[in-house]
A = this chain, B = another copy of it.
Amino acid sequence: VSDLLAIGDFARATHLSVKTLRHYHDLGLLVPASVDVRSGYRRYSTEQIPVGHVVRRFRDLDMPLEQIRAVLDARDLPSRNRLIAEHLARLEDALNRTHSAVASLRDILQGPPPAAAIRHRSEPALQTVAISETVEAADLSPWFQGALDELHATLAAQDEAAVGPAGAVVDDAFFTDEHGAISVYLPTARRVRAVGRAVALTLPPVELAVIVHEGSHVDIDRSYGALAAHVAHGALSVGGPLRERYLVGGRETTVAADWRTEIGWPVFRVGAPRPT
């Protein structure tokens, strides 16, 4: 009995608030060593103090409670360490994005965006090998990497090579709802066999207003904005998914400042009769 702490003392011992401790009990994340059946009083053992400290540090690192539970429940050390390492990797990603966002904010507050040229182009039908899935905006980057790697591997296995830069067809819902269908593709000379997620896909012809975005994708919304303003100004809007082409991307250089991304926004064909 002498080694049990009331919730208030346990709060002082761990620097977790009483409300937080009750919340963790409700969720089964940090269950008191004993609970008085008559009064409902929670009693924590001194052995639980280091557990509280660990939980607090994971929360300081924004780890979701469900994931903390997974770490605490991990059977063996390797799987526990894997979960932690994965979270630290996500955290580092977040820190990098924060640094980029600060730089990008300074940029945007300094002045108007660099006025990139917008041109119109008739895109013919295109033979490709593609992976199509519904993706959350938050998960885009790792999904995209994996898909593109798989496409290159698929071509290599069939002794084929891409006959142009990689690209993507992005459903409207991806922007308006934060998740939607995306196809990542590599253009091919021939129709390739389907392997794994990769399937042959022929992109339909389309009329596009295109802009080339220079640099990292943290800023890519500015090029989308320029394109949207252009299309709105000309009243050229027509439905259909957006296109992206990665003229220079992560496979060519790790220097994000050197990336070149073409964005294509579907429009009416200029000078042609509008569809009735």
Please count how many residues in chain A sit with their CB below 8 Å of the partner chain's CB atoms: 61
Q: Which residues of B contact A265 (CB under 8 A)?
A: 12
Q: Which residues of B contact A52 (CB under 8 A)?
A: 225
Q: Does A116 contact B (CB under 8 A)?
A: no
Q: Does A175 contact B (CB under 8 A)?
A: yes
Which one of B98, B108, B227, B231 contacts A61 once the chains associate, using CB atoms below 8 Å?
Answer: B98
Residues of chain A in range 189-245 having any CB-CB distance to chain B below 8 Å: 220-222, 224-225, 227-229, 231-235, 237, 242
Contact A53 B222 (CB under 8 A): yes
Q: Does A24 contact B (CB under 8 A)?
A: no
Q: Which of A3-11, A119-127, A268-276 touches B?
A: A3-11
Copies of this polypeptide in the complex: 2
Q: Which residues of B contact A46 (CB under 8 A)?
A: 228-229, 232-233
Q: Which residues of B contact A56 (CB under 8 A)?
A: 221
Interchain residue pairs A-B with the least CB separation, the first 3? A13-B228, A46-B229, A60-B101
Q: Which of A14-22, A151-159, A161-169, A250-258 touches B?
A: A14-22
